[in-house]
Amino acid sequence: MELLAALGRKAALGRVATGDWFAVRSDRAIFIRDTFHPLLTEMEGGAIAQVCLRNNVPFVAVKSVSDHLFREGQTEEFFDFAHAMEDLGAVVLPLAQALQKETL
């Protein structure tokens, strides 16, 4: 978190909901939100995290959030993919280098 802050990037640490469905406003999404209180939902990282956990392999996920569940106009939100990739590119290598130093 400190590294991301030093790079001038917003970061949050918290619970992530994962599953095999696209999170849109629905009864299922309301249940997930009200039961688990996640910061975000995603579809990819949970499976990878589970495999890493079972094999005792450290895991970290860096996400660029593309939509905001329960925000008015969610379905109309425009996600600037180029901007997201630029943001991720600015932090992935420094983060990987910092993590490598921690584990050596």
pLDDT beyond 70 at 78: no
- Convert the pLDDT of each residue in 60-69 to its tens digit: 888 776 656 6
**DSSP 8-state class, residue 74:** G
pTM beyond 0.85: the answer is: no
Q: Which phi and psi (to 5°) does residue 41 adopt?
A: -120, 150
- The pLDDT assigned to 96 comes to 85
**DSSP 8-state class, residue 77:** P
Q: How far apart are CA 69 and CA 30, in angstroms?
A: 10
Nearest to 71 by CA among 45, 35, 33: 33
Residue 94 CA: distances (Å) to CA of 88, 100, 101: 10, 10, 11
**pLDDT: which is higher, 25 or 79:** 25
Q: How far apart are CA 55 and CA 52, in angstroms?
A: 5
Residue 33 identity (one-letter amino acid)? R
